Amino acid sequence: MTGIYAENSEGVFKKAVLEAASYASQISGGNVTAVCVGMPKDGEAEKLAKYGVNKLIVVEGLNAFDALNYGRAVAANLQNVKNLIIANTYEGKAIAPRIAVLQAASLATNVVELPNTTNGFSIKRGVFSGKGFAHVQLSRENKVIAITPNSIELKENPVSINIEKTTVSSPENLTQITGINKAAGKIPLTEAEVVVSAGRGMKGPENWGMVEELAQILGGATACSKPVSDMDWRPHSEHVGQTGITIKPNLYIAIGISGAIQHLAGVSSSKVIVVINKDPEAPFFKAADYGIVGDAFEVLPQLIAAAKAAKN
């Protein structure tokens, strides 16, 4: 049997969870059980069913995300599951190793493809901050597989879904949330298909209007380099790279970012990379599919006008 952890945000499943469902249903041929914490909103369970999940176990009694309590709840409710698929998000990364320990399972994170089962169970995973790939054999009968968002193609496999409820009584209170800062109304960076990102070359936070406008026209999210968020020009939730978020959009537009190795670590798996930099020697051009050597303050207005015209 195959299972997934169905992470949700206020009762809504993320796209990465649907990818986990699709992965699980493709390797099992159906019969996928999902576990989520808290009752999903109306219509959400059906989204899972569209990708092959035929049973959803809703765990109640847990509040704020806590890796140990959540990991225990998932492991306890998916004891008979041999392959457990998890989205490699913050939550997923935190609970996957805990579940692997609880179930004495092989663990693979950053997984980017369906397994090759012609000889054992071989998976392909990103290593060295996305600079390379490793093919790894998972030898234990139980496996925990955390898949990188935007790596697995969604394939529909509609089934009907049963919902069961279970309650965790007296969980340990290990984490106390003292406040939540929400990036309201935005596409989550890890789910965005287009990301418009900018660095110190933008000179100051007052110039981000152009970056936001381009992102909005292209239906994408905004991101930034580490110094930009360190200087409070942009929120830390937008910081991508080795010490920030790892993303894999279809299109990554980097404006006034030098392309340091620590930045590339978080974005180099993007399908198409466009670099705008006034320095023709900027290292980012080596990783670019398309490059524009020019001043961002001249290039961006033209790009925005062209994107608007194309959209119209």
Ligand X SMILES: Cc1cc2nc3c(=O)[nH]c(=O)nc-3n(C[C@H](O)[C@H](O)[C@H](O)COP(=O)(O)OP(=O)(O)OC[C@H]3O[C@@H](n4cnc5c(N)ncnc54)[C@H](O)[C@@H]3O)c2cc1C
Query: How far is residue 264's CA from residue 289's CA, in Å, rounded to a whole number?
Result: 14
Closest CA to 269 of 89, 79, 71, 127: 127
Q: Is 87 near ligand X (CB under 6 A)?
A: no
Amino acid letter, 275: V
Token look-up 């051009």 returns 285
Residue 199 Cβ, how far from ligand X at the closest point, in Å? 2
Residues 6+ apart with CB under 8 A from 239: 223, 224, 225, 226, 228, 229, 245
Q: Is 186 near ligand X (CB under 6 A)?
A: no
Among positions 227, 237, 304, 307, the unique one binding ligand X when judged by CB under 6 A: 227
Of 48-56, 97-105, 176-184, 225-233, the window that binds ligand X (rule: CB under 6 A) is 225-233
Query: Closer to ligand X at the Cβ: 150 or 225?
Result: 225
Token digits of residue 257: 């970012």
Query: Which secondary structure element, helix H or strand E, spans residue 284, and what is its range?
Result: none
Residue 160 Cβ, how far from ligand X at the closest point, in Å? 44
Query: Which secondary structure element, helix H or strand E, spans residue 197, and what is its range?
Result: strand 194-198
Query: Closer to ligand X at the Cβ: 114 or 293?
Result: 293
Residue 131 Cβ, how far from ligand X at the closest point, in Å? 14
Query: Closer to ligand X at the Cβ: 257 or 274?
Result: 257
Number of residues that bind ligand X (CB under 6 A): 26
Residue 293 Cβ, how far from ligand X at the closest point, in Å? 9
Rounding to the nearest 10 degrees, give the CA dihedral for residues 222, 198, 237, 74: 70
Query: How far is residue 81's CA from residue 93's CA, in Å, rounded to a whole number?
Result: 19
Say how far residue 222 (Cα) sits from the centre of its chain.
15
Beta-bridged to residue 83, according to DSSP, are 2, 143
125 by Cβ neighbours in 10 Å (0-12 / 13-18 / 19+) ranks as buried
Integer distance in angstroms from the first to the last C-alpha of the chain? 49
Query: Closer to ligand X at the Cβ: 165 or 290?
Result: 290
Token digits of residue 226: 């580490």
Q: Is 225 near ligand X (CB under 6 A)?
A: yes
Residue 259 Cβ, how far from ligand X at the closest point, in Å? 7
Query: Closer to ligand X at the Cβ: 243 or 302?
Result: 243
Q: Is 200 near ligand X (CB under 6 A)?
A: yes
Query: How far is residue 265's CA from residue 246's CA, in Å, rounded to a whole number?
Result: 7
Site for ligand X in 239-298 (CB under 6 A): 241-244, 256-258, 260, 262-263, 266, 276-279, 282, 295-297
Residue 40 Cβ, how far from ligand X at the closest point, in Å? 33
Query: Closer to ligand X at the Cβ: 4 or 282?
Result: 282
Query: How far is residue 194's CA from residue 216's CA, in Å, rounded to a whole number?
Result: 10
Q: Is 304 near ligand X (CB under 6 A)?
A: no
Q: Is 190 near ligand X (CB under 6 A)?
A: no
Residue 273 Cβ, how far from ligand X at the closest point, in Å? 14
Query: Closer to ligand X at the Cβ: 137 or 302?
Result: 302
Q: Summarize as ranges the residues that interact with ligand X (CB under 6 A).
A: 199-201, 225-228, 241-244, 256-258, 260, 262-263, 266, 276-279, 282, 295-297
